[in-house]
């Protein structure tokens, strides 16, 4: 399986919450894992927000962030360029997606096009999953 993770799915690998076990299982079964380059900053922001919201202890969160940064080196990074932003622009309009959801969908579709192989999009964002399913992309969710 070629697995694309958006931030709502990937965070569950590093901060234990509902759906974490499923994400770990998906990642273990994946031959390749990829995500948008912007996921790196989204992950740092999400982990920092978890500290501020007292969902996790600071030391635990910093360990999770360091683990993520180490793992990040092994993921395929889908770069955001003008063409991808234009694709995300159209997806946002066509499917009423938020900005970064449209970026994630455009990244997954672009990676799928480049590989010429089916990508499985993992997300816990219902609107993103619905849009992906409408355009025929394989999705994973709990």
Span 32-46, pLDDT tens digits: 999 999 999 999 999
Q: Which CATH architecture has domain 2-140?
A: 3-Layer(aba) Sandwich (3.40)
Q: Is the pLDDT of residue 107 over 90?
A: yes
Q: Where are the domains of the chain?
A: 2-140
The pLDDT of 95-113, averaged and rounded, is: 98
Average the pLDDT over 60-73 and give the result.
Answer: 96
Q: What is the pLDDT of residue 142?
A: 61
Give the global pTM: 0.95
141 pLDDT band, cuts 50/70/90, is confident
Write down the pLDDT at residue 50: 92
For the chain, the average pLDDT equals 96
Closest residue by Cα to residue 34 from 89, 113, 125, 96: 113
Q: Report the percent of the chain where pLDDT is more than 70.
A: 99
With CA atoms as reference, report the closest residue to 101 among 92, 110, 109, 93: 92
CA distance 140 to 142: 7
Contact present, 15 and 130 (Cβ < 8 Å): no
């Amino acid at each position: 399986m070629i697995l694309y993770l958006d931030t709502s799915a990937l965070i569950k690998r590093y901060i234990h919450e509902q759906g974490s076990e499923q994400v770990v299982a998906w990642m273990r079964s994946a031959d390749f894992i990829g995500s948008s380059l912007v996921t790196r900053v989204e992950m740092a922001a999400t982990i920092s927000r978890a500290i501020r919201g007292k969902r996790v202890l600071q030391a635990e969160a910093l360990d999770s962030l360091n683990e993520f940064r180490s793992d990040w080196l092994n993921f395929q990074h889908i770069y955001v360029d003008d063409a991808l932003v234009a694709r995300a622009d159209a997806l946002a309009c066509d499917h009423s997606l938020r900005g970064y959801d449209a970026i994630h969908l455009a990244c997954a579709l672009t990676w799928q096009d480049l590989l010429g192989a089916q990508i499985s999009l993992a997300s816990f964002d219902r609107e993103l999953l619905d849009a992906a399913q409408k355009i025929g992309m394989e999705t994973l969710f709990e």
